[in-house]
Amino acid sequence: MKFKLPPYEWQHKAMEMSTHLTDMALLADMGTGKTGAMVNILRMRYNNGRRVQKTLILSPLVTLLNWREEFFKHSYIDTEKVVVLMGSTKKKVKTLTQATLNDPNKIVIMNYEGMISKEMIHALLKWGIELLVLDESHMCKNHKAKRSKNIFALSVDARARFIMTGTPVTNDLPDIFMQYKILDGGATFGNNFYVFQRKYMEDKNAAWANRQNHFPKWVVRTDKIEEVQHLIYSKAIRVTKDECLDLPDRVEEIYKVPLSSKQRKYYDQMERDFVTFVEEGESKGIAVAQLAMTKALRLQQIVTGFVTDDEGNEIEILDNPRLVAVKELIQSLHSKHKVILWCSFKKNYKQLGDLLTKMKIEHRFIIGDMTLMQKQEAMDEFNNDDSVRVIIANRRAGGIGINLVSADYSIVYSRNFSLSEELQSKDRNYRGGSEIHDRIVSINLCAEDTIDERVTEALINKKKISDDILTFIRQST
């Protein structure tokens, strides 16, 4: 088979492995080239069948156009064979119907959100999927979710199925169950989640099982870890950046940022009493948290410099050392380095945007309410225009499918509890292409003795769980 771009060694290995498997998982880190590997695996299938087979690729919204470009980059497939479904469900169904009417042998790329629509599922079943690819397959890890169940229904009649992700286990072992059920119909881990749970996990709170206040705490059985690993890798290839890319050193630093006296007052009140009374200039409000999750959200807001009151008003805390810290960091970095500012709250976008405007520093945004085209334009300008020094990105909107390799520094201004978003965002500027830098530096802003420290600890614990399950098994050949 002729290649437009010479594959990496691991991509050759993956292609060879795929010839012996009906279903296969590419568990490859972001930036290692797993999309290119998948394109060539599909090309092999097409060559063997002497035609483009009806292929459905499910991917996050922000990577849809990237998938199309990867096909053109790595293959000689005609452009009209690759169809991207975007817009409303009605528009997606119309595009699919028109594109496959006279020639059903197409490569159809669409986002996961379309999988909750009965109309969309019906149209896909009518078309008849032969090859199914799930990119970022951890997005269907929930075995109870309607989306996951619908994808499983689509997978049943496919000739071959593929899942792709660098983080198949983002919280705990159950994450892998539904992904593999979709992959092989339950051949590896069975069809029943609760049977799977009882076989490979144990309830640490089992001693309380007959009591009214019993809450199960399911953890992986240590005697089953090796068995789970062997089962996962019986039809998977695991690739890390360290193994296949000559990337620069990655440095992670924690900058301790104090709270102002006002922030500490609001924080302590909310932590102690589930309520705080906010007064900032002419703005006043009361913030009440009736649930622990709401309380955690309010505490995270306070350490980043604002509070949402009971009427939904976002009141900015005027004395905010964290914003001052960002200003000082940007002043020292922007002339020689490009910087990503990661945040999780809409209010933070405005705070940081206003700060950079006052500093007269050219910047761009990648945030949730932007269209895919707007995000692409912002990304291109940040990477290619030397005058654009900073990009403010939401971890969810800019954490998947976005290439920001022109930045050698990132600053985490605010974060949430999502391990997948944490890992995805870190890989935006640590991937193929980042070897242009001497090192990649991630700066985490953290307020001492606050929820900042707790969130960081929680993410570290989740990462350890992931490592225990997915440690790559190297066997002598």
Q: Count CA atoms closer than 13 A to 445's CA, side-chain side.
A: 26
pLDDT at 466: 58
Quickly list DSSP for 327-390.
HHHHHHHTTT--EEEEES-HHHHHHHHHHHHHTT--EEEE-TTS-HHHHHHHHHHHHH-TT--E
Q: Which two tokens stand for residue 30?
A: 């972001």
pLDDT at 183 over 80: yes
Closest CA to 110 of 160, 61, 55: 61
pLDDT at 460 over 80: no
pLDDT at 116 over 80: yes
Q: In the chain, which residues fall in CATH 3.40.50.300?
A: 249-467
Quickly list DSSP for 70-97.
HHHHH----GGGEEE--SSHHHHHHHHH
pLDDT at 438: 87
pLDDT at 362 over 70: yes
pLDDT at 191 over 80: yes
* pTM across the whole model: 0.69
Q: Specify whether the backbone of 292 is left (phi greater than 0), alpha (psi in -120 to 50) or beta.
A: alpha
The CATH superfamily of 9-244 is Tandem AAA-ATPase domain (3.40.50.10810)
Please provide the average confidence, as pLDDT, over all residues in the chain.
89
Question: What are the pLDDT digits (tens) for 202-213?
Answer: 998 887 877 777
DSSP reduced 3-state for 399:
coil
Pick the CATH number of 249-467 from 3.30.70.2190, 3.40.50.2300, 3.40.50.300, 3.40.50.800: 3.40.50.300
pLDDT at 256: 84
Query: How does residue 247 score in pLDDT terms, banded at 50, 70 and 90?
Result: confident
Strand partners, 59: 111
| Residues 34 and 237: beta-carbon distance below 8 Å | no
Name the more confident of 170 and 9: 9
pLDDT at 99 over 50: yes
Closest CA to 253 of 67, 431, 75, 410: 410
Residue 69 CA to residue 304 CA, distance in Å, equals: 38
Question: What are the pLDDT digits (tens) for 258-307?
Answer: 899 999 999 999 999 989 989 898 888 899 888 888 888 999 999 999 99
pLDDT at 470 over 60: no
Closest CA to 81 of 100, 60, 65, 62: 100
Question: What are the pLDDT digits (tens) for 117-163?
Answer: 999 999 999 999 999 999 989 889 999 999 999 999 999 999 999 99
Residue 32 CA to residue 194 CA, distance in Å, equals: 35
Residue 226 CA to residue 221 CA, distance in Å, equals: 10
pLDDT at 477 over 50: no
Residue 95 CA to residue 123 CA, distance in Å, equals: 11
Question: What are the pLDDT digits (tens) for 371-426?
Answer: 888 988 999 999 999 999 999 998 777 556 678 999 999 999 998 777 777 777 88
- β-pairing, 314-316 vs 339-343, is unpaired
pLDDT at 396: 74
Q: In the chain, which residues fall in CATH 3.40.50.10810?
A: 9-244
Q: Which two tokens stand for residue 304?
A: 């980043």
- Report the range of poorest mean pLDDT among 11-20, 60-69, 377-386, 389-398: 60-69
Residue 430 vs residues 57, 298, 387, 409, 424: alpha-carbon distances, Å: 25, 31, 22, 10, 10
Cβ partners under 8 Å of residue 111, min gap 6: 58, 59, 60, 61, 64, 85, 86
Residue 146 CA to residue 154 CA, distance in Å, equals: 12
- β-pairing, 314-316 vs 23-28, is unpaired
pLDDT at 84 over 70: yes
Query: How does residue 431 score in pLDDT terms, banded at 50, 70 and 90?
Result: confident
Angle between helices 175-184 and 146-155 (to 10 degrees): 20
Where would I find the beta strands (DSSP E) of 152-303? 160-164, 201-203, 218-220, 236-239, 249-256, 275-280, 283-288
Burial classification of residue 24, based on how many CB atoms lie within 10 Å of its CB (0-12 exposed, 13-18 middle, 19 or more buried) = buried
